[in-house]
Structure 1
Amino acid sequence: MRTNAFEAVARYVYPSLRRRLVEILRERGLTQIQIAELLHITQSAVSRYLRMNRGALIEVEKFQDIDEKLKGLADTIVREKPDEYYIHGELVKIAVEMLGKGYVCSFHSKVDPEIDPKLCRICIETFG
């Protein structure tokens, strides 16, 4: 195992969650500048997420339960305008939930061919 689960989350899952969150906020009619301010990131980063130049490797929206959590987080962000620590904490919780449900396994095995998802149950047993 060359790439452990936490590396996969940091490199691929977290950016994909953030990209989807940006998309959800954009679908609700917010401008790139408004999204950047709410998420405490640059407008340039918002643009890269929307152009799929960042966080595009995992289609988070195909996991209905995770997408619903992100929509709920988007509602909270628009309504309460939380600080960056709150947003980061919620995204980390969602990423850990994805690990626990085994959603990252097939992707992890693609970025690290040494991983055999049929044998590796580390994330499911640790976080499930």
Structure 2
Amino acid sequence: MLPSEVEAKTIIPTLRSLIAKKLVNTYHLPQQKVAELLGITQAAVSNYIREVRGVSASLEGSEEVQKLVDEIVKAILQGVDQLTLMKKFNDAVATIKAKRLMCGLHQKLEPDLDVEKCHICSPNA
């Protein structure tokens, strides 16, 4: 499985979930508004809030990931344009990969992968 597949299956949904939960639970934005801001459906936001999908405990518990989520939420609340928001999201994913926060998830999806020998996502790989 390619790192980009792991990113698409776990990292992006987890980030969206954490962002959606913060916008709804902390800032009391309606689910429909959050859906519009994130470019997803209201049903997806509902699933994120209920933790039916998009949850990765290892990422959710990471202080580093929470900081990235807070930056994105702040940008959303400030009303940044779509390109700026996409860049912040992309930078967050790149940081998660570069800091090897995705490696454990990758190994869960692909148990035979030796993550100690893999440095594909490292900035100097």
Common fold by TM > 0.5: yes
Unaligned runs of 5+ in 1: none
Partners of 2:105 and 2:99 in 1: how far apart?
13
User: CA offset at residue 104 of structure 1?
Assistant: 0.7
**Map of 2:48 onto structure 1:** 49
Q: In structure 2, what residue type is equivalent to 1:96?
A: A
Deviates more, 1:3-12 or 1:52-61: 52-61
**Map of 2:76 onto structure 1:** 77
User: CA offset at residue 59 of structure 1?
Assistant: 4.2
Partners of 1:106 and 1:125 in 2: how far apart?
18
TM-score with structure 1 length normalisation?
A: 0.84
Partners of 1:6 and 1:23 in 2: how far apart?
24
**Map of 2:4 onto structure 1:** 6
Partners of 2:44 and 2:86 in 1: how far apart?
15
**Map of 2:100 onto structure 1:** 102
TM-score with structure 2 length normalisation?
A: 0.86
User: CA offset at residue 4 of structure 1?
Assistant: 1.3
Could you tell me whether the CA contact under 8 Å between 1:20 and 1:61 is conserved in 2? yes
Aligned residue pairs total 124
Q: CA RMSD in A?
A: 1.9
Correspondences of 1:86-97 after superposition (within 5 Å)? 86-97=84-95
Indicate how the Cα distance of structure 1 residues 81 and 122 shifts in structure 2: closer, same or farther if over 3 A, else same: closer
**Map of 1:120 onto structure 2:** 118
Q: Which runs of 4+ in 1 moved over 6 A?
A: none
Partners of 2:30 and 2:58 in 1: how far apart?
22
Could you tell me whether the CA contact under 8 Å between 2:31 and 2:42 is conserved in 1? yes
User: CA offset at residue 22 of structure 1?
Assistant: 0.4
Sequence identity percentage = 27
